[in-house]
Amino acid sequence: MTFTLTLFRHAKSSWDDSVPRDFDRPLNKRGEKAAITMGTWVKRNGLVFDHVVASPAVRVIDTIDQFVKGTGGRMDPHWDRRIYLASSATLMDVLRDQSDEHKNLLMVGHNPGMEDLVFDLCPDDGTSPLRDLVWEKYPTAAIARMELNIDHWADVERSCGQLTHFIRPRDLDPDLGPEDE
């Protein structure tokens, strides 16, 4: 049986905002645009999710709000504090706790855990140019989609996945590329 996992790194947040905690940082305008752009791409490509689990950090909440504008749909995320700045190992634990009734999961969170999770789930067999792009950089608002060869979420383990999509905002809109280019 195949389960699908889509990882969505939060969009670009504002370092200019004078919030007392990292947890409370909102998106900046560029991040808002990127999240909408990624939502539009998801809709156009027919990607579906039957469950969303996300970090409750403000920048993730804002990312989802903007993403939904692009998809034209709605989302009812399950907020899981463990995802906030989590390691790959912790993210795997979150995955293992998911109900098997959900076959297409969207996880929205932070780096470096998201990037490391791609590397842990998808083996480096030298044949994946998508994995090489993740290695280059997993920027804000990027989406990685994997098919996991498991029968239950509880079976998630290293090397159980195959990376099928990796899309960055700059792939869709050059204005959303690195600011120093």
Query: What are the Cα distances from residue 8, in Å, to 110, 113, 137, 142?
Result: 8, 11, 14, 6
Per-residue pLDDT of 26-40, as tens digits, reads 999 999 999 999 999
Per-residue pLDDT of 119-152, as tens digits, reads 999 998 877 889 999 999 999 999 999 999 999 9
| Model confidence, pTM | 0.95
- Neighbour tally for 18: CB within 10 Å: 6
Domains in the chain: boundaries: 2-13+22-146+157-175
CA distance 13 to 29: 9
Q: Which CATH architecture is the domain 2-13+22-146+157-175 placed in?
A: 3-Layer(aba) Sandwich (3.40)
The answer to whether 171 touches 34, Cβ cutoff 8 Å, is no
- Neighbour tally for 94: CB within 10 Å: 22
- Neighbour tally for 20: CB within 10 Å: 6
Per-residue pLDDT of 46-83, as tens digits, reads 999 999 999 999 999 999 999 999 999 999 999 999 99
pLDDT band at 19 (very low <50, low <70, confident <90, very high): confident
Q: Which amino acid is at 147?
A: E
pLDDT band at 180 (very low <50, low <70, confident <90, very high): very low
